[in-house]
């Protein structure tokens, strides 16, 4: 017999307590959002029973859904709050966008794989995430039509921070992105925009993400 809604709810509560809070995620708004979004709805078919393990899981097209701790860490580091306009690059199955949508006022999410983008759009609609608009595009270019963004989260690792994303960050805005010169081994960086060309950068530690492909990322997989 498969897991039911009550089983998933218990697993989700356990995830928030043991994987997030005990590992240092402190923002109650982030913890609340992580506790409300059903990760089992965003994993690949057949992986639902592993939805609350602290692991990345395959979602198709060579992409993965990030482990819960990393999603919470990035959203907390970005200082997401009510009323913000957020951008997520590399939306994948839509999970991080769904979590972010529970906190900020509006989310623009970009996914370059058309099949994943369509699946994510359907998932977000089913869950009533009406403040998320999802586009199939090159995320390294951002989405200038909706800029400036208070929060930008990039869920794939690039060789450098795309200039387009830096330019679309609001003054005082926060950008969290994995950056590294080798495949799947990066440093998680947080940039805060202080002026027209003034950004403060903080290294949040080692991470491992799929490659950020695009005009201002990797033109091909490294």
CB atoms closer than 10 angstroms to residue 10: 12
Domain spanning 5-207, CATH class: alpha beta
What span, in angstroms and rounded, lies between the C-alpha atoms of 192 and 198?
Answer: 8
pLDDT at 176: 98
Q: For the chain, how many helices (H) and strands (E)?
A: 6, 9
Residue carrying structure tokens 């005009």: 215
Catalytic residue among 66, 93, 101, 155: 66
pLDDT value for 62: 87
DSSP class per residue in 173-217:
EEEEEEEEEETTEEEEEEEEEEETTEEEEEEEEEE---B-BSTTS
Q: Is 155 a catalytic residue?
A: no
- pLDDT means per 10 residues in the chain (222 residues)? 87 97 97 98 94 94 93 98 98 98 98 96 97 98 98 96 98 98 87 97 95 91 60
Please give the DSSP secondary-structure letter assigned to residue 158: B
pTM over 0.75: yes
Q: Are strands 149-154 and 106-111 parallel, antiparallel or unpaired?
A: unpaired
């Amino acid at each position: 017999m498969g897991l039911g809604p009550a089983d998933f709810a218990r697993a989700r509560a356990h995830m928030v307590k043991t994987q997030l809070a005990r590992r240092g995620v402190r923002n109650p708004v982030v913890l609340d959002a992580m506790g409300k979004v059903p990760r089992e709805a965003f994993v690949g078919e057949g992986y639902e029973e592993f939805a609350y393990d602290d692991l990345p899981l395959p979602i198709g097209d060579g992409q993965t859904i990030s482990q819960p701790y990393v999603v919470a860490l990035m959203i907390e580091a970005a200082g997401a709050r009510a009323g913000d306009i957020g951008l997520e690059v590399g939306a994948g199955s839509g999970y991080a966008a769904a979590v972010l949508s529970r906190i900020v006022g509006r989310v623009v999410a970009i996914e370059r794989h058309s099949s994943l983008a369509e699946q994510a759009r359907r998932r977000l609609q089913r869950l009533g995430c009406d403040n998320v608009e999802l586009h199939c595009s090159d995320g390294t270019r951002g989405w200038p039509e909706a800029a400036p963004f208070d929060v930008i989260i990039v869920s794939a690792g690039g060789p450098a921070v795309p200039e387009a994303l830096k330019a679309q960050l609001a003054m005082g805005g926060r950008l969290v992105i994995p950056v590294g010169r080798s495949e799947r081994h990066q440093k998680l960086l947080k940039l805060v925009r202080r002026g027209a060309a003034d950004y403060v950068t903080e290294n949040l530690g080692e991470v491992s993400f799929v490659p950020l492909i695009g005009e201002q990322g990797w033109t091909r997989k490294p």
